Amino acid sequence: MEYELLIQQMRALLAGVEDQVACLANASSLLNAALPNINWVGFYLAKDGALWLGPFQGAPACVRIGAGQGVCGAAFAADQTFRVGDVHSFPGHIACDPASRSELVIPLHDAQGAPVAVLDIDSPVYGRFSEADEAGLSAIAKEIERAVWGNGACM
């Protein structure tokens, strides 16, 4: 995967857009089109002590994830990226889509560094996400943070 090109595409896609939902919707669409062997990509947004479904691409998903629950909730609570090769072996995994086998969840932060959301990417392939995928997608997540919650246009 050519992540440097994808970073440039994401930056261009989000430039000048003045709506958070539009930015997140297009970000999920770009990732869905660019990443092979995934079956869901989207955002869960923090609100009232839980993560709530935001813009995404894929099958219908869990609407609310409690703090610390499943891969998304655990990554958010720990404020660290979780790369899980077999989601069915993850304690407390929430099977929104039983076809998902592996998952990468990256916390997103506001301008002050507080976690405000997660980028969630699922795959029907066990062990789909490598260290290189984690690094490349973390860099893309930084572009999304800057545009949506930082000093970018999607405010």
| Mean pLDDT for back-to-back runs of 10 residues, the chain (155 residues) | 93 92 97 97 96 97 92 96 93 78 96 95 97 98 94 66
Q: What angle do CA 115, 141, 90 make, to 5 degrees?
A: 70
Q: What angle do CA 47, 151, 53 make, to 5 degrees?
A: 25
Q: What percent of the chain has pLDDT over 70?
A: 97
> Of 65, 71, 147, which is closest to residue 109 (Cα–Cα)?
147
* pTM for this prediction: 0.95
Tokens read off for 107? 């916390």
Interatomic CA distance for residues 37 and 124, integer angstroms? 7
Q: What superfamily would CATH give domain 3-148?
A: GAF domain (3.30.450.40)
Task: Phi first, then psi: give them for residue 115, nearest 5 degrees.
Answer: -65, 135
Domain boundaries, the chain: 3-148
pLDDT of residue 35: 97
pLDDT of residue 104: 98
